[in-house]
Structure 1
Amino acid sequence: MNFDGEDLSHKALADRLPPGETHVFRECDLTEADLWGASLAGATFESCVLEQTDFRKADLDGAVFGGGGGMRVRFNDADLIDVTFTDVDLSSAQFGGALLTDASFTGCRMIGASLTGSRGTGFKVSRSNLTLANLGGCSLRGEVVEGVRFDDADLSGCDFTEATLSDCRLRGTRLLGAKFAKADLRGADLGEPDDAKLRAFAGAIINQAQANAILAARGITVL
């Protein structure tokens, strides 16, 4: 079923979407639309307005989101296996309880988004802004994370074991209990090297300039 340029705001849509079909939404207004529990596996959302759209408990496995977006989209407890988000505004989006195995976020604006409490074996994120986001307990183990801003984000308990962080920023980031064993941080901006960060970075790989900055902050000069 195709929806092109339709105003679907504030509508209950789940009953209009029969299971077993692939649904396509192009440039639709889904502001506060109710898609709770909807069958949307493999669906496409192209440049849609998603202001406070309710996708809670929806089946979005393999869905594709490109462009568009909006504040406070709710994906709580949804199935998001293999879903792709590209250039989507997901500011303050809620993913608590969502199954995010092999989901990918590329070029997304995710300021203040909450992924803590999400489920699955891990997801991918690149070229995205996660300032003030909450990823507490999430796994990015072994992933290549490129061009991501984690400024003032909460990464407490996150697993970055053997991950590579390239062109990423970790300024003001909360890292209590995070794991960075064998993670390659040589291409990351580590921000202020306080004691809490250094404990989290135990076992990580850093470069000489980063090491010098850490020592300099403690009054030690390397000649």
Structure 2
Amino acid sequence: MHLTGEDLSHTLLADRLEPGETHVFRECDLTEAGLGGADLGGARFESCVLDGADLREADLDGAVFEGGGGMRIRFDDADLVDATFTGVDLSSARFGGALLTDATFTGCRMIGASLTASRGTGFTVSGCNLTLADLGGCSLRGEVIEGVRFDDADLSGCDFTGATFSGCRLRGAKLIKTVFAGADLRGADLGEPDDATLRAFAGATINPVQAAAILAARGISVL
């Protein structure tokens, strides 16, 4: 199925898709479309409106999302192995229980998105805005994380072991039981971490400027 410019809003589409066929949606309106449980492996979504679209339990293995997007997209329990999201608005999207192994998010707006309880061995995120997002329990071990805003995000229980942060912001992030062992935080804006946050950074590497700022906030001068 190859569709361009179609208004498919509020339409139950899952039963209309032929299994095994590659589906392409280009500049379609999929507002609150019903795609739950659909076979969409390798599908392409190009500049589509996806506000409130239901993709729960869908097979999206290797699917490609480019541009477009919308608020409150539901990916709960979907298979997103090797899926790629480029320049997509995923604000308030829900990925609870989704399989995200080797999924890639690049240049996406993910404000308030929830990835807590997602599954898999890790995913890649770069150039994204994850302000106020919930990544509780996610694994990003060994990942190179570039240009990502985690301001006020909930990173509780996340595993960043060996990860490298470049051009990232962690201001106000919630870091309860977050693991940074072996992580390189020299390229991150840490904000003004309190003592609890500093304990979360145990085992990580920071630069002298960051260390001086942390000490200065506690009334200690570095000469």
User: One fold, TM greater than 0.5?
Assistant: yes
Deviation readout 1:34-77 (Å, 9 max, x if unpaired) = 00100000000000000000000000000000000000000000
Please tell me the residue identity of whatever aligns with 2:217. A
Please tell me the residue identity of whatever aligns with 2:45. F
* 1:151 CA drift (Å): 0.4
Please tell me the residue identity of whatever aligns with 2:50. L
CA distance in 2, matches of 1:197, 1:98: 29
CA contact (8 A) 1:166 1:188 kept: yes
CA contact (8 A) 1:193 1:217 kept: no
CA contact (8 A) 1:2 1:24 kept: yes
* 1:197 CA drift (Å): 1.1
Q: Which residue of 2 aligns with 1:196?
A: 196
Please tell me the residue identity of whatever aligns with 1:130. L
CA distance in 1, matches of 2:71, 2:113: 9
Q: Does 1:2 align with 2:2?
A: yes
Q: Does 1:64 align with 2:75?
A: no
Please tell me the residue identity of whatever aligns with 1:45. F
Please tell me the residue identity of whatever aligns with 2:137. G
Q: Which residue of 2 aligns with 1:145?
A: 145
DSSP-derived class of the 2:130 partner: coil
DSSP-derived class of the 1:185 partner: strand
CA distance in 2, matches of 1:197, 1:61: 36
Identical columns (%): 79
Q: Does 1:176 align with 2:160?
A: no
CA distance in 1, matches of 2:172, 2:4: 43
Please tell me the residue identity of whatever aligns with 1:172. G
Q: Does 1:129 align with 2:118?
A: no
Runs of 4+ in 1 over 3 A off after TM superposition: none
What is the aligned residue count?
223
Unaligned stretches of 5+ in structure 1? none
Q: Which residue of 1 aligns with 2:48?
A: 48
Q: Which residue of 1 aligns with 2:107?
A: 107
CA contact (8 A) 1:182 1:204 kept: yes
DSSP-derived class of the 1:197 partner: helix
Deviation readout 1:92-119 (Å, 9 max, x if unpaired) = 0000000000001000000000000000
CA distance in 2, matches of 1:68, 1:219: 48
DSSP-derived class of the 1:142 partner: coil
CA distance in 2, matches of 1:181, 1:132: 24
Q: TM-score, normalised by structure 1?
A: 0.99
Q: Does 1:119 align with 2:119?
A: yes
Deviation readout 1:164-194 (Å, 9 max, x if unpaired) = 0000000110000000011000010001121
Please tell me the residue identity of whatever aligns with 2:159. D
CA distance in 2, matches of 1:34, 1:194: 45
Q: How does 1:147-166 map to 2 (within 5 A)?
A: 147-166=147-166
Q: TM-score, normalised by structure 2?
A: 0.99
Please tell me the residue identity of whatever aligns with 2:4. D
DSSP-derived class of the 1:215 partner: helix
Please tell me the residue identity of whatever aligns with 1:89. D
